[in-house]
Amino acid sequence: MHIAILGAGNMGIALATVLAERGHRTTLWSIEPDVIADIVNHHRSEKYLSGITLDHQITATGDLAAALRSARGVIVAVPSSVVKRVAERAAPYISKRIPVLSVAKGIASTSFRPLADVVARALGRIHGSVAGLGGPAIATEFSRGTPTAVVVAGRPADTKFWQRALERSTFRVEASRDLIGVSWAACLKNVYAIALGMCDGMRYAMNTKAILMTRALAEMAVVLRSARAQSETVYGLAGVGDLVTTGFSPHGRNRRFGEMICAGEQCDITAVLKTMTVEGVAAVDVAHAWAIRKRLRLPLLDLVWRVCHRGVDPCRSLEAYLRK
């Protein structure tokens, strides 16, 4: 079976390795000529997944129409900032019968809809007709065969398709119908990972980090209930699973950002943001707007929002929060 993946970054290429192990032919679409050349000529991508040899069933192209030709399934794995634009360009080449999976996680800032629904609308489809991927999936780990489990949320026919396409002994795929809950969990775990990183930056012990983790999960459940999602999603792979990965891994950007702004004598958030992309900074603005709309009391989320968007001192704010 032929699967097209739009986006040849680390996640797109890592998913291609999973598909290849299942025997599927995969075409990666990219706008980066050097990445395409490396994949086509050398069966590797030193830029994104260094040290991994790619299966000969994996190829790459810069021609969008060619990538999508004869594809039985499509994975959209471009950054969230361009996901709408890429989906609109791809729309003429994707039949409405073709299952589509969005790797971009989270909630749109204006509509409060899942990013998978942004893809669906750009493709001319109804809400819920594009599945979303969630859960703890670090590309550099599962591309090397590290046992991993993810969740695919969407309509039953779509989740079954992607389970069959992706699942293998070391890459398990759970199905969920709670696309809204999985998407909100993906948004919020980035927010609370910043708080967990702040805890690390201040060199608090694990007892203290456990306090923040517990309160973060409680606040996530409040948000999911307010969005009419399934609150139990918080305690599955998309919620606690992804939060553990994002908030405890030394490689998690959001956790690292929180650590950096609370390490040292002066917390220069603006300077840090010039050197790295931190999804939680935008995500907390979306979640804070939702909390105001729904009149939700979320003290930990509010702390992260004030640190990221109102310039309050992160170290003093966390100390004050923990004294309450």
What is the spatial distance between Cα 8 and Cα 15, in angstroms, rounded to a whole number? Answer: 10
Q: Stretch 116-135: mean pLDDT, rounded?
A: 96
Q: Is 189 a catalytic residue?
A: yes
**pLDDT tens readout for residues 142-169:** 999 999 999 999 999 999 999 999 999 9
If asked whether residues 283 and 193 sit together in one domain, one would say: yes
Examine the domain organization and report whether 250 and 132 are in the same domain: no
With helix as H, strand as E and coil as C, how does 149-205 read? Answer: EEEEECCHHHHHHHHHHHCECCEEEEEECCHHHHHHHHHHHHHHHHHHHHHHHCCCC
Question: What is the pLDDT at residue 307?
Answer: 94
pLDDT at 75: 98
Q: What is the pLDDT of residue 276?
A: 76
**Residue 266 pLDDT class (50, 70, 90 cuts):** low
d(CA 40, CA 42): 6
> Does 164 share its domain with 20?
yes
For the residues 81-105, what does the mean pLDDT come to? 95
Prediction pTM value = 0.92
Q: Which residues pair with 175 in a beta bridge?
A: 152
| CA gap 266, 185 in Å, rounded | 31
- Tell me, what's the pLDDT at 36? 97
Q: Is the pLDDT of residue 174 over 90?
A: yes
- State how far the Cα of 126 lies from the Cα of 315, in Å rounded to an integer: 45
Q: Does position 123 have pLDDT exceeding 90, yes or no?
A: yes
166 and 210 in a single domain? The answer is no
131-134 sheet: strands from edge to edge: 58-61, 25-29, 2-6, 73-76, 100-102, 131-134, 148-153, 171-176
Q: Are 149 and 72 in contact (CB under 8 A)?
A: no
Percent of the chain topping pLDDT 90: 90
Residue 128 backbone class (left: φ over 0; alpha: ψ -120 to 50; beta: rest): left
Whether residue 191 is found in the same domain as residue 274: yes
**The last residue of a domain, from among 177, 201, 219:** 177
Query: Rounded to an integer, what distance in angstroms lies between the CA atom of residue 61 and that of residue 36?
Result: 6
Report residue 269's pLDDT band, with 50, 70 and 90 as the boundaries.
Answer: confident
Q: Which residue did the predictor score with more confidence, 288 or 110?
A: 288
**The domain containing residue 19 runs over which residues?**
2-177
- 204 in the same domain as 120: no
CATH number at residue 165: 3.40.50.720
Is the pLDDT reported for residue 275 higher than 80?
no
Is 194 found in the same domain as 93? no
Whether residues 172 and 189 fall in one domain: no
d(CA 163, CA 144) in angstroms, rounded, equals 20
Please identify which of the residues 47, 84, 105, 189 carries the catalytic annotation: 189
The owner of tokens 């594009």 is 130
Q: How many domains does the chain have?
A: 2
Same domain, 131 and 236: no
Are both 37 and 121 inside the same structural domain? yes
> Last residue of a domain, which of 177, 211, 233?
177
Mark which of 153, 177, 201 sits at the end of a domain: 177
Residues 168 and 185 in one domain: no
Instruction: Identify the pLDDT of residue 231.
Output: 87
pLDDT bin (cut points 50, 70, 90) of residue 267 is low
Which distant-in-sequence residues (6+ apart) come within 8 Å of 306 by Cβ?
312, 317
Is the pLDDT confidence value at 67 over 90? yes
Do 193 and 284 fall into the same domain?
yes
